[in-house]
Copies of this chain bind each other. A is one copy, B any other.
Amino acid sequence: MAASRRRLRLVARPVPGGQATDRAASADRIARSAAHPGDGVAAVLGWLADLAERSWTTAERVPLEDLVGWSAVPGRGDLVHRTGRFYRIHGLDVTAPDGPVPHWRQPVIDQPEVGVLGLLAREFDGVLHFLVQAKAEPGNVNGLQISPTVQATRSNYTGAHGGRAVPYLEYFRDRERHRVIADVRQSEQGAWFHRKRNRNMVVEVREDLPVRPGFRWLTLGQLHRLLAVDDVVNMDTRTVLACLPLTGVTPDEPPDPLPTDDRFRAALRRSARAASAALSAELLSWVTDRRSLTAMQARRVPLAETHGWRWRDGRIAHHRGRFFEVVGVAVRARGREVDGWTQPMIEAVGTGVVAFLVRRVGGVLHVLVHARAEPGSVDVVELAPTVQCQPDNYLDLPAGARPPYLDEVLDAPPERVRFAATLSEEGGRFFHTRNRYLVVEVGPRGVPTHPDYRWVTVRQLDALLRHSHYLNVQARSLVACLHSLRHPNRGES
């Protein structure tokens, strides 16, 4: 026993009790921040416009052959950086015997390192605020968008860029000293990335910290209102917001501080609080079942062997002009880690449609999620929006291949469209790639059922979001948009 005595440094601390209560308190504080308009939306848009004038970035397409530091691996064609860092573009061979296209090949981004998307929170005058950054990314259609406090690849924080340290990253490293509100690894686009994950963190600090130029404290209410403006809240912010625990756990949590002045909002709030909404064995079993029965397999192949895709005119495109292209981009930027660079990016063809169908069942809002297999998923299937597609991609396919519920979304009368905004996908990897994000309420007649789709409550989504591998990035964006509908008078600033 001498060995164990010698090793004795610290006696184990007891695990603190009352986490459920702690979580409810968190949810309550977050709900209070969601109800708070802060200094409004106009002020933030003005701040962004002002910054955009002073800091500038240009990003333009260049031929892949002109990229500096990037080249095709001889014999394979994979696009890699000379340092071997950042990411690479290789090919994927996908078999999906259950789907409308049973086999295909495609380019895919491989970025195995897990980055951090971190949002700092702090209470001012009893209201939680979140520190956001106005950030220029090469893929943004409009230059600056609102990003989390920290948006760092592992390359960033190990300094592979040879650039400056990432501001505020230290607050996310020292989790003992600050309070972790959310911390979960979540997937990114499974159609374009091979098993990419980022760490989504919200950390509350209880000390003063400097607000650097280009950063600003916002309430959740402000962020929610900004979500309704096209191309302002970037994808990284949306996914982190989705991981905020905005629903309660204990039956005795305090009442919702928001007034409920219409039935839709009341149903949404009930959905976020319903005691019935805990994770049921049945829901988890459905996810397990979809994962077990879906036979999609994806394996890596050389980029040069992605049949159906052609490297021509300085870019890699599908032979029918569908899906996406791999393009070169040259960036000149001030206020970024380095002053200029080139990189390959993915540019989607056309604007996609990403939509939740929602429905009131007994006064409780339910959301129709899709157990969707994507080639880049770590665990076969994640829960996706009801509709997630680029409608033009289906023009060559038989009518039966048209995505279920797409017509219900596209044909919905305006009064049933509860949310609509065009939002950008991540501007560090995707060039001018945008989706129309929609929350559409179905009529009292309902819609057909389908074994790959299921109605869930907002609280169930929230419970799943505490873990990896359940909600894909488009669904997480929509969860953030859905939460923004808790507010009355969304149009006001």
Contacts and interface: CB of A to CB of B under 8 A. Distances in A.
Interface of A: 1, 3-5, 7-20, 22-23, 26, 112, 114, 116, 175, 180-185, 199, 245, 249, 274-285, 288-289, 291-292, 297, 359, 361-362, 364, 366, 368, 378-379, 407-408, 411, 445-449, 455-457, 460, 466-469
B366 A276 contact: no
A12 B361 contact: yes
A13 B460 CA distance: 16
Contacts of A22: 280-281
Contacts of A184: 284, 288
Contacts of A445: 4-5, 8, 11
A103 to B, nearest CB: 17
Contacts of A297: 112
Contacts of A7: 447-448
> Nearest 3 CB-CB pairs, A to B?
A17-B276, A183-B285, A19-B280
B12 A285 contact: no
A44 B442 CA distance: 57
B12 A379 contact: no
A183 B114 contact: no
B411 A8 contact: no
Given A12-B446, A180-B281, A407-B4, A185 B291 contact: yes
Nearest to A114: B292
Given A12-B455, A114-B292, 14 more contacts: A3-B407, A4-B407, A12-B368, A12-B446, A14-B455, A17-B276, A19-B276, A20-B275, A22-B281, A23-B281, A116-B292, A183-B281, A184-B288, A279-B466
Contact of A183 (B4, B13, B112, B289): B289
29 contacts: A1-B411, A3-B408, A4-B407, A4-B445, A4-B447, A4-B448, A8-B448, A9-B448, A12-B446, A14-B361, A14-B364, A15-B276, A15-B366, A16-B280, A17-B274, A18-B276, A19-B279, A22-B280, A114-B291, A175-B285, A180-B281, A183-B281, A183-B284, A183-B289, A199-B292, A249-B278, A279-B466, A378-B378, A378-B379
| Central interface residue in A7, A175, A411, A445, by most chain B CB within 10 Å | A7
A288 B457 CA distance: 25
Nearest to A447: B4
Nearest to A360: B14
A8 to B, nearest CB: 6
A101 B368 CA distance: 48
The quantity of this chain's copies bound in the complex is 2
A279 to B, nearest CB: 7
A378 B364 CA distance: 36
A5 B297 CA distance: 35
A447 B411 CA distance: 64
Interface residues of A: mostly helix, strand, loop or mixed? mixed
A450 to B, nearest CB: 9
Contacts of A181: 281
A11 B289 contact: no
Contacts of A282: 16, 19, 180
Contacts of A359: 12
A57 B222 CA distance: 70
Nearest to A20: B278
Contacts of A15: 276-277, 280, 283, 361, 366, 455-457, 460
Contacts of A291: 114, 185
A172 to B, nearest CB: 10
Nearest to A413: B1
Contacts of A245: 281
A45 to B, nearest CB: 33
Nearest to A183: B285
Contacts of A278: 19-20, 23, 249
Contacts of A289: 175, 183
Contacts of A411: 1, 3-4
A373 to B, nearest CB: 14
| Central interface residue in A4, A22, A112, A275, by most chain B CB within 10 Å | A4
A447 B8 CA distance: 6
Nearest to A281: B180
A445 to B, nearest CB: 6
A449 B180 contact: no
A278 B373 CA distance: 31
A4 B405 CA distance: 8
A13 B245 CA distance: 27
A112 to B, nearest CB: 7
A407 B3 CA distance: 7
A13 B89 CA distance: 44
